[in-house]
Amino acid sequence: MNEGLEKQLADLYAEGAAFDAAQTERVHTRRNLEPASAGLLWSLAGIVGARRAVEIGTSNGYSAIWLADALSATGGRLVSVDVDTDPAAAENLSRAGLRERVNLHRGDGGAYLEGLSDACVDLLFLDAERTEYPRWWPHPVRVLRPGGLLVIDNVLSHPDEVAAFLELLAGESSLSGWTVPVGKGLHLAWRAH
């Protein structure tokens, strides 16, 4: 990642934190991924050689920029899905020079995953309404290719909201997983070859 993009991301994160602090309702916040978590996600995308990544939860495009930059090295593309379209996402991706690498899709994350083919996603990042994830079952696992990676944010900050989904994952024999205590907690689950 180049210095200019690092600066843009630092500024975007600071702007998002200030914006969130001024909001009175959680639904209106940006809830950007913490920089350490974003850096880990960036590294993981490269490690798995992701060429097709899906992010559920776009907000202002902060994590999409991290993912799109990682996918630049692999020649990959990102689909970022959100029920609301924040115009800032497209603007921020364009300013980062990564807009052509990202398809911003407006819609329900579960419906989007349901429409995908089996084993077609290299990396799936869930950062949306956590209580919805069990309703999307089994699609978050079904769409992962062998060797693919599922990353779930906020598992330490909101354990009650992700408990049912993590229980479903624990019962899936094709997955191995671990929670990493970075940021608000990232759970990593990779699908066996």
Name all domains of the chain by residue range, CATH numbers in brackets.
32-191 (3.40.50.150)
Query: Two tokens at 174?
Result: 């094709």
pLDDT at 118: 98
pLDDT at 119: 98
CA dist., res. 145 & res. 64, Å (int)? 21
Query: Do 158 and 130 meet the contact criterion of CB atoms below 8 Å apart?
Result: yes
Q: What is the mean pLDDT of the chain?
A: 94
Decide if pLDDT at 102 tops 90. Answer: yes
Strands 144-153 and 175-180: unpaired
Decide if pLDDT at 179 tops 90. Answer: yes
Decide if pLDDT at 11 tops 90. Answer: yes
**Among residues 170, 116, 110, 103, which one has the least CA distance to residue 145?**
116
CA dist., res. 6 & res. 58, Å (int)? 19
pLDDT digits (tens, 9 = 90+) for 112-151: 999 999 999 999 999 999 999 999 999 999 999 999 999 9
Structure-model confidence comparison of residues 22 and 151, the more confident one: 151
Kindly report the number of other CB atoms within 10 A of residue 4's CB atom.
10
pLDDT at 87: 87
Say what the pTM is: 0.94
Q: How sure is the predictor about 20, in pLDDT bands with cuts at 50, 70 and 90?
A: confident
Residues 6 or more apart in contact with residue 50 via CB below 8 angstroms: 70, 71, 74, 76, 122, 123, 149
pLDDT digits (tens, 9 = 90+) for 45-99: 999 999 999 999 999 999 999 999 999 999 999 999 999 878 899 999 999 999 9
